[in-house]
A and B are shown apart, each in its own frame.
Chain A
């Protein structure tokens, strides 16, 4: 456990690139049926008539795919304990069936939590990229890290 990355170990400016998520029409539709049943997320024919001109993923689905890649590649080995939320989330481009997504992160800032001595907040800029390295979604996550325990 001693080699976990704690709050003290995080360095502002650190970057990471990770993940590979193949987006399928079936998954776009499955997510949308459950959580975001708007025509441009549900049905390729109806989507033709929308301003997007074809089936696109729900923005919240892109957020869910982002957190899946984070859980697989960025959380293991760290003393993170969830997140407070996020700021400045932008859906910049449509996510289409056949897109292959990945994630780039950069540590933006470390913030002490007033009155909380065991955790600190790390602000992490996240960019979800498609196979052309175009950003489809960006956000700043507010991630809680445990502090290194006393020896």
Chain B
């Protein structure tokens, strides 16, 4: 198991990849972000994006899925997140794009009141051309080893 004590500032990890289909872009957007450039390929062509693009919140969701799968592979003991310092949607995500996540630990500190520690990481989602489409800096809470001070 990977606990707070096992996390090192500067360590990085690849989170895995996901190829985004037009169907899933439209399904997510119809439910949560119904704007023409996310839901309607025809109407999207007339917008500044020139075609269908994924909701930024969909890209965040894909990042979360990849993060959960990576945590499972690494047997990491996390207990959720208090928030995100910043998130930028830097380039459009289009149907057929393959997004790969990568994460780097920026800072760690233990909670004074609870048996957890905080980890601040930068997570980037990169497409198949190497463009960073999304960059965020967020916090995660990790469990501490039993008996840790």
Contacts and interface: CB of A to CB of B under 8 A. Distances in A.
Decide whether A and B are members of one complex.
yes
B48 interface: yes
Contact of A75 (B31, B35, B62, B85): B35
Nearest to B53: A82
Interface string B58-72: 001110110010000
A65 interface: yes
A89 B33 contact: no
Given A36-B68, A37-B68, A50-B79, A86 B35 contact: no
A71 B89 contact: no
18 contacts: A31-B61, A35-B64, A37-B65, A59-B80, A60-B57, A60-B60, A64-B33, A67-B55, A68-B31, A71-B35, A72-B34, A81-B47, A84-B89, A85-B56, A85-B86, A86-B87, A89-B87, A139-B84
Interface residues of A, number: 33
A86 B86 contact: yes
B-side interface mostly: mixed
Interface in B37-52: 37, 47-49
B110 to A, nearest CB: 16
A88 B82 CA distance: 10
B33 to A, nearest CB: 5
A105 to B, nearest CB: 16
